Amino acid sequence: MTGAYYPEISAAGVQCRAVAAAIGDLAQLSVLTTAVDGSLPSTDTIDGRPIARVAVDVTRRASKALASLDVARHLLHASSTYDIIHVHGFSQKNVPVSIFAGLARKPLVLTLHTAGQDEPGAVKRHGALASWSFASADLTLAVSPSLLDCWRTAGLDADRIRLVPNGVDTHRFRPADDHEKAALRREIGWPAQDPVVLFVGFFSRDKRPDLLFRAWCRGDGPRSRLAFVGATRSGYYEIDESIAQQIASEAAAAGRADDVLFAEPAQEIDRYFRAADVFVLPSIREAHPLALLEAMACGLPCIATRLAGATDAIITDGDQGILVPPDDEGALARAITAVLQDPAAGRAIGARARQRIVDRYDIQRTAGQWLDAYHTVLAGKR
């Protein structure tokens, strides 16, 4: 169960699809998801797996409540077809799902994905029933040490949670040689010569694309282009449409409109990573950012905000990437300049980043951990 699934884009949905492919025939997986795009069919088949969608308007409380009940109705209707419910993230839907799982005696696995949302303190603000639901899963999987620590600090049962990081298909996300990169840039429409600094993610205040733009403008290295790939507008409440407009306006005023490139969210996101030269994650809130893993898998030198138990659990500063303090525009500018001025050092960082992902975050490893969780709850163990 996810908040969004293909063709809509969310980190949890992307992760579910990748794990489903990696698991193959070892488990039969079906997907129940909410969708903000009302034009998508209510039932579908993707990658040979059945998909059921519940339309929701996330800006309306009544719509979210009705969607939660509709999710429970779907679970009841299909109850003879599945053995385990695996729900991703915490939202209003979790309460009826937890109640149903208990009544139907279906083991429930919960994956915590989002910092500031999938945490006991945040859930507690929604009331006692929400807190009960949050702690009721037979087994909880946390994608990052930070989420794991929040669970334990709240005094919840440490035996009912495991650290299971996100994973990446390292065959799909791989470095491009010079010929591949040139071809990809022609397809995308990026310039052939100038290095490209890449941002991938929603245009939200927490993602800080505007901070990246200002830091990039301050850099005094060789000429580069700044590419933004992500939703500038949608039905998701966290997106702020004014951010992209402000960046475009300020770029034009500075005479750099041609140097700032925008692209809508894409399913073939790997080609953007493989065509870029540097990746930057300027967020102030992340748990285990999938875009960072994908960029590292593609051998890019990555610059990220240092977030305790999140980015610093993935990158050793100065080895597989560069970490800078949150909201430090000057430090971010200096890091971008340093990587652009020394491409050889950047390539060496990217190679070590790639190896880190292969060693620790390959999707096959994540898929194996999901399967182990399923076997555990079916056996009634913790």
| pLDDT per residue as tens digits for the range 33-64 | 999 998 999 999 999 999 999 999 888 888 88
Write phi, then psi, for 178 (nearest 5 degrees). -60, -40
Is the pLDDT at 322 greater than 90, yes or no? yes
Per-residue confidence (pLDDT) for residue 59, from 0 to 100: 80
Residues 84 and 107: beta-carbon distance below 8 Å: yes
Residues 143 and 166: beta-carbon distance below 8 Å: yes
Per-residue confidence (pLDDT) for residue 16, from 0 to 100: 96
- Architecture of the CATH domain 178-360: 3-Layer(aba) Sandwich (3.40)
Is the pLDDT at 329 greater than 70, yes or no? yes
Indicate the CATH number of 11-167+363-378 among 3.40.50.150, 3.40.50.2000, 3.40.50.300, 3.30.420.40.
3.40.50.2000
Tell me if 11-167+363-378 shares its fold with 178-360.
yes
Q: Where are the beta strands (DSSP E) in the chain?
A: 31-35, 43-46, 49-55, 85-88, 108-112, 139-142, 161-163, 196-200, 225-229, 260-263, 278-281, 302-305, 322-324
Q: Give the closest residue to 175 by CA, choosing from 358, 366, 367.
A: 358
Burial 86-115 (b: 16+ CB within 10 A, else e): bbbbbbbbbbbbbebbeeeebbbbbbbbbb
Instruction: Read off the pLDDT band of 235 (50, 70, 90).
Output: low
How many CA atoms, within 13 angstroms, populate the side-chain half-sphere of residue 131? 12
* DSSP character string of 208-251: -HHHHHHHHHH--SS--EEEEES-SS-S-TTB-HHHHHHHHHHH
**For the chain, how big is the Rg over CA atoms in Å?**
21
CA distance 101 to 97: 6
Is the pLDDT at 349 greater than 70, yes or no? yes
Give the number of other CB atoms < 10 A from CB of residue 380.
Answer: 8
Q: Give the closest residue to 228 by CA, choosing from 255, 192, 204.
A: 204
Burial 143-172 (b: 16+ CB within 10 A, else e): bbbbbbebbeeeebeeeebbebbbbbbbeb
Write phi, then psi, for 304 (nearest 5 degrees). -140, 155
pLDDT in tens, 128-180: 999 999 999 999 999 999 999 999 999 999 999 999 999 999 999 999 999 99
Q: pTM for the complete prediction?
A: 0.95
The residues spanned by each domain of the chain are: 11-167+363-378, 178-360
